[in-house]
Amino acid sequence: MEKDSKPNVLFIAVDDLNNMISPIDNFSNIKTPNFDRLADMGVTFTDAHVQAPLCGPSRASIMTGLRPSTTGIYGMTPDDSIRRPGNEATKDITFLPEYFKNNDYHTIGIGKLFHIHAPNNVFNESGGRVKGFGPYPEERFVWDGFGKGIKGKHGRTSTDWGAFPENDTLMPDHESVNWVVERLNRNYDKPFFIGLGFLRVHVPLYVPQKWFDLYPLESIKTPPYKSDDLNDIPPVGMKINDLPMMPSTEWAIESGEWKKIVQAYLACISYVDYELGRVLDALESSKYADNTIVVLWSDHGYRLGEKGTFAKHALWETATSAPLMFAGPNLPKGKQIDAPVEMLSIYPTLLELANLPAYDRNEGKSLVSMIQKGESIKEAKAITTFGMNNHTVKVDGYRYIQYEDGTEEFYDHSNDPNEWKNEAKNPKYRSQIEQMKALLPKVNVKWDEKSSYTFQPYFIEQKARVNGEEDKPVKVIGADR
C-alpha cells in the first residue's frame, strides 16, 4: 500500500483471558508461543485493567469509550439496546468500529465482539457469531451448571471442563479464523478494520485432547489460595462474591478437581494461542503485513480458585486485570509496560495510531505517548466498576476499593500481591487511600433500564433498590450467551 495510506486495523478480543499467558505471568509453564510472537511484534501492557469485571458492561465500555458509571450499563445489555433514546449517555454515541467506518474504512467483524456479536449495521460485513460457547457433549462432564443456585431465579452457567470435541476444526473459533484468513487475502480499495472475537477461553473449558496433553496433571500448579482470606472483606464485597452457580475452591479441593480445572483453562489458552498463530501467519503473508495495527485484549480476568471461587465477578486483581497488546507500524517491538492502564484507552489509542481525529466523547486516554515516549507512567491509573457505586482504583503497587455503602479495602502489592490483607483501616496508608479515593468517578448514574445481571443475587437486589423496581418481576438471564 502507498506510504500515505491509512493503516488497517486487526482488532482481536479473547473472552475471559487472564494474565497467565507467557508474555505476562508465564503461569505453570504455560505454552503460548503465538502470544510471545505478538509480544515480540509490539507492546505488551502487563497491568491493564477492564472497566467492569463482566463481559457485557466491559465490552460496552470499550466499544462506546464510556465508563459504566457514565452509562449505567453495569450488567448484560442486548447489543442493539446499548445505544438507544432512553440512555442519555449513549443515545448518540459512535461505536468504535463505526468511527472507522465513518472515516472511510471497510469494517468487518465476526465472533464475540460486543456482548453477543454487534449491533445491527455496525460492520459493513458481518460474519455473525455461533450461539453459545459450544460445541457441547451430550452430557456435561463434571459440573451441573446450577451448583447451589436456585433454578428459575439465578440462571445456569456453562462452567464445566474436559477434552471435547475430537479436533480443532469442530470449534467455532476455528471457523471464525478461517473467515478472517480468507478476508486477509482479499483486495480492498480502502483501509480495513477487522474485528475477531474468540469465544474461548470462556467456559465450558472444552478443547480437543491434544491441548490437555500439553499439561500433565502432575505438572500443574494451582493459584495462591488462603481459606480465611475473606474474613476482613466488607459485607457488600461478600455479597458480590456470592456466586451460587460457580464451583467453590473448597469444593474443588475436596473433589480433587482443582488441578483439572486449571489444566483445562491452560489447555483452552493454548488452543486460542494456536488460532491466534493462524491469524498472524495470514497477516504476515498478506500484502497488509507492514501497514496493519494489531490490538489484542480481553474483557476481564478470571479467577481459578483465588478468593474462594472460579469466576470473574470481583473488584480484586485477578478479576480486573487482563492482557492488552498493540503491534504495528511506528510502534516499538518487544516492549513491556508495567504501568496500570485501562481497556477504555483502546478506542482513543487506535484513533491516534490510525491518524484519525480524536473523538471528544472518549473518556479514556490514548496510550500512544506512553508507548512511544514513556510519558504519563508515574500518573497512570485504572478504574474498574462493578454495579452502581462499587469501584476499585489501581495505581502502581496499590489497590483501593470503595463499595456503595462507603466501606473499603486497600492492598499494598509490594508486600501482599495476593491481596490477602485488607489494610483499609491501617493509619500507615491513610494518605495513599485519600489520594486514590479522589480518583473515583464523580458521576454514578442509575442502572440503565435495559441492563441487568440476574445471574448474581446482589445485582438483582441492587438494581431493584436504586431504580425503585422492587415490585417489578425479574426475567432470569443465565450466563450462556
Question: Which sequence positions are flagged as catalytic?
Answer: 55, 115
Position 110, amino acid: I
Q: For residues 245 and 11, what is the distance between their CA atoms, to the nearest angstrom? A: 32
Strand order across the beta sheet in which 382-385 lies: 382-385, 391-395, 398-402, 408-412
- What distances in angstroms separate CA 470 from CA 92, 235, 475, one per listed residue? 30, 21, 13
Residue carrying the nine cell digits 457469531: 129
* Cβ neighbourhood burial of 416 (10 Å; 0-12, 13-18, 19+): middle
89 in helix, strand or coil? coil
Position 427, amino acid: P
Q: For residues 193 and 124, what is the distance between their CA atoms, to the nearest angstrom? A: 10
What pairs with residue 408 in β-bridges?
Answer: 402
Note whether 9 and 354 are within 8 A (CB): yes
Which residues touch 454 (CB under 8 Å, ≥6 apart)? 153, 154, 155, 460, 474, 475, 476, 477
Residue 479 gets the label, from left (phi > 0), alpha (psi -120 to 50) or beta, of alpha
Q: For residues 291 and 3, what is the distance between their CA atoms, to the nearest angstrom? A: 9
The grid coordinates listed for 88 are: 442519555
- What distances in angstroms separate CA 6 from CA 99, 279, 304, one per listed residue? 14, 21, 41
Note whether 164 and 137 are within 8 A (CB): yes
Q: For residues 324 and 47, what is the distance between their CA atoms, to the nearest angstrom? A: 8
Residue carrying the nine cell digits 495510506: 5
The grid coordinates listed for 147 are: 451448583
- Size (the chain), residues: 481
